[in-house]
């Protein structure tokens, strides 16, 4: 499947690399909102232009689907790009690195990416357009809603709920059964022992609101 990566920055390039490792997909180009990038290349792949250029390329048969390639600094843009692609009929496959472990009873939604070394354990549900970065561990019966983002080395210790659009920084640890509200931010290295309210930012050991 020929994939268009929506965003040519560092996260988009990581997603393109993941597509190359996946085996069933291949990135063919990027789009980016920065007009200065049009006509340039990243990882040997062209930047076709902005979102409109990407949609035109799909209509012309130059790609078969799209994945969001903007990272955690643009969480609103991640959701917007995913919705834009879906509204124009671009399929969004899920990608899993061959050195990630995904249990047979787990489910990974459309447009989600699971990087190398990650573990998605039994009965875990990963929603759409979710990022599970390298070395993250999602233990049994946890649930990640659409557009959630897990940084490298995050640990969900079982039965954890991460609501829509929440961001978990690198190395954060969530105790069993904890819930993270929609749009909340958990800082890198935090240890979460209680529910985090929607939109809140928490940090520290144990994690407390900022």
Torsion angle of alpha carbons 135, 70, 10, 154, nearest 10°?
A: -20
Q: Which CATH class is domain 2-87?
A: alpha beta
Distances (CA, A) of 145 to 6, 160, 208: 21, 11, 23
Residue 23 has pLDDT above 80, yes or no: no
Residue 148 has pLDDT above 90, yes or no: yes
Q: What is the DSSP string of 175-209?
A: -TT-EE-TT-EE-TT-EE-S-B-TT-EEETTTTEE
pLDDT of residue 111: 97
**What average pLDDT score do residues 51-56 get?**
90
Pick the CATH number of 94-201 from 2.160.10.10, 3.30.530.20, 1.10.132.20, 3.40.50.1860: 2.160.10.10
**What average pLDDT score do residues 178-191 get?**
98
**Alpha-carbon span 127 to 59, nearest angstrom:** 27
**What average pLDDT score do residues 73-84 get?**
90
3-state secondary structure of 38: coil
Residue 70 has pLDDT above 90, yes or no: yes
CA atoms within 13 A on the CB side of 106: 26
pLDDT above 70 covers a percentage of the chain that reads 100
**What average pLDDT score do residues 165-188 get?**
98
**Domain boundaries defined on the chain:** 2-87, 94-201
Contact yes or no for 57/4 (Cβ under 8 A): yes
pLDDT of residue 75: 86
Residue 5 has pLDDT above 80, yes or no: yes
b vs e for 60-82, b when ≥16 Cβ sit within 10 Å of the residue's Cβ? eeebbbbbbbbbbebbeebbebb
**Alpha-carbon span 28 to 144, nearest angstrom:** 29
Lowest mean pLDDT across 19-23, 75-79, 137-141, 202-206: 19-23
**In this structure, what token pair is assigned to residue 115?**
């990087």
pLDDT of residue 22: 79
**In this structure, what token pair is assigned to residue 68?**
């969001």
pLDDT of residue 72: 86
Residue 139 has pLDDT above 80, yes or no: yes
pLDDT of residue 74: 79
Q: How far is CA 160 from the centre of its chain?
A: 18
């Amino acid at each position: 499947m020929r994939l268009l990566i929506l965003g040519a920055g560092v996260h988009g390039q990581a997603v393109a690399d993941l597509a190359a490792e996946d085996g069933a997909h291949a990135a063919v180009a990027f789009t980016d909102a920065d007009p200065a990038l049009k006509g340039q290349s990243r990882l040997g792949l062209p930047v076709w232009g902005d979102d409109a250029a990407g949609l035109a390329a799909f209509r012309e048969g130059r790609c078969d689907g799209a994945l969001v390639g903007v990272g955690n600094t643009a969480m609103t843009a991640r959701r917007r790009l995913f919705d834009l692609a879906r509204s124009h009929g671009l399929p969004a496959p899920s990608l899993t690195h061959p050195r990630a472990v995904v249990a047979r009873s787990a489910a990974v939604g459309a447009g989600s990416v699971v990087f190398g070394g990650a573990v998605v354990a039994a009965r875990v549900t990963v929603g759409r357009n979710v990022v599970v970065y390298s070395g993250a561990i999602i233990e049994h019966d946890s649930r990640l809603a659409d557009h959630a983002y897990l940084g490298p080395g995050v640990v969900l210790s079982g039965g954890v709920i991460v609501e829509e659009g929440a961001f978990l920084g690198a190395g954060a640890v969530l105790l069993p059964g904890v819930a993270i509200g929609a749009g909340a931010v958990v800082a890198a290295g935090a240890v979460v022992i209680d529910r985090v309210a929607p939109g809140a930012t928490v940090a520290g050991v144990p994690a407390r609101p900022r």
